[in-house]
Structure 1
Amino acid sequence: MTPYDMIKAHLSTAVPFATYVGVDLLDISDGQASAELQQRDETSNHIQSMHAAAMFALGEAASGAAVAGALAPVILEMRPVAATADIKFLKVAKGKLTAQARTSRPGGELMQAIKDDGKVAFDVTVDITDAAGDSVVGMTVNWYVSPQR
């Protein structure tokens, strides 16, 4: 089992809300992650499309997985916190959605910043697409990471 597989298994149980919503982590690597969410009655809104909160949960989960992937060698010693998020709903979303997340800086650079400064803040961009491949949500999450206390 690779470190990324271990992170994926851990995150699948460590964030109960994402699990409750139905977010499924697909892939994690150095600074990148993908996740999907299938629309169900519980994730739908009054116009039978995906609820905004469900899409936010999908994007935030993918961004957190990208953070964990970037910091894989030290992630168990870190305290990552989503500081801010900006989300743009681009198109009505229905069916299965897939989120692709990427850190703004490579993992090695982030770990060096933590070593040098004791903390780091950086963005993760997320593109959420529908089954046709159309972008339905654009999202940026700013993460603050410091060692656990």
Structure 2
Amino acid sequence: MAENRPSLGEMMAATVPMVRTLGLEFLETTAERAVVAMPDQSAYHNHLGGPHAGAMFTLAESASGAIVLAAFGDQLSRAVPLAVRAEIGYRKLAMGRVTATAELGRPAAEVVAELDAGKRPEFPVEVAIRREDGTVTGEMTIVWTLRPGG
């Protein structure tokens, strides 16, 4: 009998209140890439009628968290993933529904090898935020760590 396991997106929605608040939709969550969408919601607009910068930050950070969990979920018994720092650049006006696409900035095997060596590895996750027409409206780098001691 097959197990009905929740998807990574369902787990994030259940455990991260901001994911539910913003109605984020996890379109793809693999160890190579995570794509998360945020619907257009007037309650979270800025003064120009597009998504507020804080909402876009949360979207991008959520996509980064999804790829970290997909890539390192098998390490959770011995390490806790934590965001260390983030930098975001808003490039173009975002309007309507936006998506964030996250990719690891280092090979997962390299990060796990550092953890195996007793280190606390840090690794970047690069995120591009796009409008529905594909235009990149923002770019974010989030540096994560795997803190030993799960």
- Give TM-score scaled by structure 2 length: 0.89
Distance 2:47 2:78 in 1: 42
CA contact (8 A) 2:127 2:141 kept: yes
RMSD of aligned residue pairs (Cα, Å): 2.0
Report the identity percentage. 28
SS in structure 2 opposite 1:100? Answer: strand
Aligned length: 148
What is the deviation of 1:70?
1.3
What is the aligned partner in structure 2 of residue 14 from structure 1?
15
Structure 1 pair 70–15 and aligned structure 2 pair: CA distance change class (3 A)? same
What is the aligned partner in structure 2 of residue 123 from structure 1?
124
Distance 1:77 1:111 in 2: 11
Higher CA-based Rg: 2
CA contact (8 A) 1:31 1:67 kept: no
Unaligned runs of 5+ in 2: none
- Give TM-score scaled by structure 1 length: 0.89
Unaligned runs of 5+ in 1: none
CA contact (8 A) 1:22 1:38 kept: yes
Q: Deviations over 1:72-125 (max 9, x none)?
A: 322354311111111000111011101110111122221111111342101000
Q: Which residues of 2 match residues 63-74 of structure 1 at below 5 A?
A: 63-74=64-75
What is the aligned partner in structure 2 of residue 60 from structure 1?
61
Runs of 4+ in 1 over 4 A off after TM superposition: none
What is the aligned partner in structure 1 of residue 35 from structure 2?
34
Q: Deviations over 1:10-52 (max 9, x none)?
A: 2221211122122211211114211000121111012211100
